[in-house]
Every structure is written in structure tokens, then in C-alpha cells.
């Protein structure tokens, strides 16, 4: 695997996307009252949509989000999930329109501001996204966890090849258990970039067992193992590149 392949956007997309789903599915605000029955229907549809996103089925997630909007056209949460499903389908312009609708319905909700920045990063507007992430972090209050945005900022900074910024941001995110796996993955990838193989191994070993078997992590581990093989690393140094297996 080439170093360029390690830093491909596709390599980062799946693990970070899954790690941030709890943010992407943040509770919505509405601009008109809905009946209790309607609210339950919307919530059920969006729970299903989130589950389908986690399973890598954005087409089905999009259908569920659209059905939720049929019940409550002012659901910011539904527009949010619709946008993410569209982004997973690489329908960038439609995704941005849906996310802007979410922001318009809930302009004070920092989670949607965060997601606008995330879509900007994933669609190539990296510098603009970095500025937007910084703005969200500066505005973070008690009901918004900035670790979520530090993680996204770190991933986006990697796309911009701003590796020092990426490492600082990911180190801020790794302290939150909910985002530690994805942050450790990003840090391990940064260590591969700098050819700090022992540090890369340590970050991979810090992940949960279930996360270690994802295709992206296994590919990164194989890349590290290949480097150790080429270097003919001596066992006496105490480093075992597959220590987390």
C-alpha cells in the first residue's frame, strides 16, 4: 500500500463516519408543533435511517428520512440525516441543500453547523471547512461536546496536509471514549505518514477489539507489518507490530 493510499479519503470515510453518527443524529428542533403520534413516527423513521447509515445502506436511509419529512416537513433532524445519506451517495449539491435546510430550521444548533463544515471538507472545500470547525469550537457551550468537532477537524486537516494541526485536534478528541477509536485511527495514520512505526502500533493497539477488525484498520496494520518486514525489525527491541491481535 502506498502512503498516498493510506491517506485516501475513502480510507478515512467509513470509520470516521460511523464514529460521528451519534452527532449526525442529534435531536432536532422544529418550527411548528406536531402531534405526539406524528413525533413518534418521525423519531422511528429517523432511528431506522441512522441504523441504515451505520450499515452502509444510504439509499434506504434516504428513503426513511424523506418519509419522516412527509410527516414533519420542519424536522431539522430529518433534513440533517437526509443530507448525510445524500453525501454518502456522493450527491454533494443535494446534500448541501438539505443541510442548509437543517441549519435554517435550527440556526442555534451547533451540531448542524458542525455538519455543514463536515460536508464542506468531504466535498473538497477543506480550508473553508477548517475555519467553520474552528468557529464551532469557539462557540461550544455546555450542551455541545467539542470533542466531536476536534475529531472532524483533525480528519479535515489531514485532507489539507496540515499534519501538525491534525495531530493537535485528534489528541483533543481521543480523550472522549465515544470518539477514541476514530481518533486513534487518525493518529495511527499520521504516525505512518511520519514513519513513526512504534507509535502507529501503539495507537492501533488502543482501539477496541471490534474496531480493530474493520477493513480500514486491517489495511493500515498490513501496511505497518510490511514496513516492519522490510526493515527486518529485530525482536530484541520489544516491539511487536501485531501486538493488538
- The pLDDT score that the predictor gives to residue 32 is 46
Q: Indicate the helix (H) or strand (E) that contains 160.
A: none
- Surface-to-core class of residue 2, CB atoms within 10 Å of its CB (0-12 exposed, 13-18 middle, 19+ buried): exposed
Mean pLDDT of all residues in 57-86:
94
What pTM, to 2 d.p., does this model score? 0.73
If one compares 210 and 67, the residue with the highest pLDDT of the two is 67
Evaluate whether 46 touches 65 at the Cβ level (below 8 Å).
Answer: yes
- The pLDDT score that the predictor gives to residue 73 is 94
CB atoms closer than 10 angstroms to residue 146: 20
- The pLDDT score that the predictor gives to residue 65 is 96
If one compares 101 and 245, the residue with the highest pLDDT of the two is 101
Torsion sign, CA atoms 210, 212, 218, 220: positive
Evaluate whether 170 touches 179 at the Cβ level (below 8 Å).
Answer: no
With cut-offs at 50, 70 and 90, classify the pLDDT of residue 242. low
Altogether, the residues listed in the chain come to a count of 245
Evaluate whether 89 touches 60 at the Cβ level (below 8 Å).
Answer: no
- The pLDDT score that the predictor gives to residue 143 is 63
Q: Which domains does the chain show, CATH number per domain? A: 3-175 (1.25.40.10)
- The pLDDT score that the predictor gives to residue 54 is 79
* Tens digit of each residue's pLDDT (9 = 90 or more) over 200-217: 999 999 999 988 888 888
Q: Is the pLDDT of residue 74 over 80?
A: yes
Vertex 217, ends 242 and 232: CA angle to 5°?
A: 35
CA distances, 202 to each of 47, 48, 187, 197 (Å): 35, 36, 10, 9
In the chain, the percentage of residues whose pLDDT exceeds 70 is: 78
- The pLDDT score that the predictor gives to residue 177 is 87
* Tens digit of each residue's pLDDT (9 = 90 or more) over 115-170: 899 888 888 888 899 999 988 888 877 666 788 889 989 988 888 889 999 999 99
Q: What is the mean pLDDT of the chain?
A: 81
How far apart are alpha carbons 76 and 144 in whole angstroms?
Answer: 17
Amino acid at each position: 500500500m502506498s502512503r498516498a493510499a493510506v491517506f485516501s479519503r475513502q480510507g478515512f470515510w467509513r470509520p470516521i463516519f460511523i464514529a460521528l453518527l451519534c452527532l449526525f443524529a442529534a435531536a432536532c428542533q422544529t418550527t411548528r408543533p406536531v402531534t405526539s403520534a406524528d413525533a413518534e413516527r418521525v423519531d422511528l423513521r429517523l432511528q431506522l435511517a441512522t441504523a441504515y447509515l451505520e450499515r452502509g445502506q444510504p439509499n434506504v436511509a434516504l428513503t426513511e428520512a424523506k418519509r419522516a419529512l412527509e410527516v414533519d416537513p420542519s424536522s431539522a433532524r430529518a433534513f440533517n440525516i437526509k443530507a448525510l445519506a445524500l453525501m454518502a451517495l456522493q450527491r454533494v449539491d443535494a446534500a448541501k441543500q438539505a443541510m442548509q435546510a437543517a441549519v435554517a430550521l435550527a440556526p442555534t444548533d451547533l451540531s448542524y453547523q458542525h455538519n455543514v463544515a463536515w460536508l464542506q471538507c468531504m466535498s473538497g472545500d477543506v480550508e473553508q471547512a477548517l475555519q467553520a470547525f474552528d468557529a464551532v469550537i469557539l462557540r461550544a457551550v455546555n450542551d455541545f461536546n467539542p470533542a466531536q468537532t476536534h475529531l472532524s477537524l483533525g480528519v479535515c486537516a489531514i485532507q489539507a496536509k496540515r499534519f501538525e494541526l491534525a495531530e493537535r485536534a485528534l489528541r483533543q478528541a481521543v480523550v472522549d471514549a465515544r470518539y477514541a477509536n476514530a481518533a486513534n485511527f487518525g493518529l495511527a495514520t499520521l504516525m505512518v505518514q511520519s514513519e513513526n512505526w512504534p507509535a502507529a502500533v501503539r495507537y492501533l493497539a488502543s482501539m477496541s477489539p471490534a474496531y480493530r477488525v474493520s477493513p480500514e484498520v486491517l489495511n493500515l496494520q498490513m501496511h505497518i507489518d510490511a514496513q516492519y518486514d522490510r526493515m527486518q525489525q529485530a525482536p530484541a527491541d520489544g516491539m511487536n507490530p501485531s501486538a493488538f491481535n
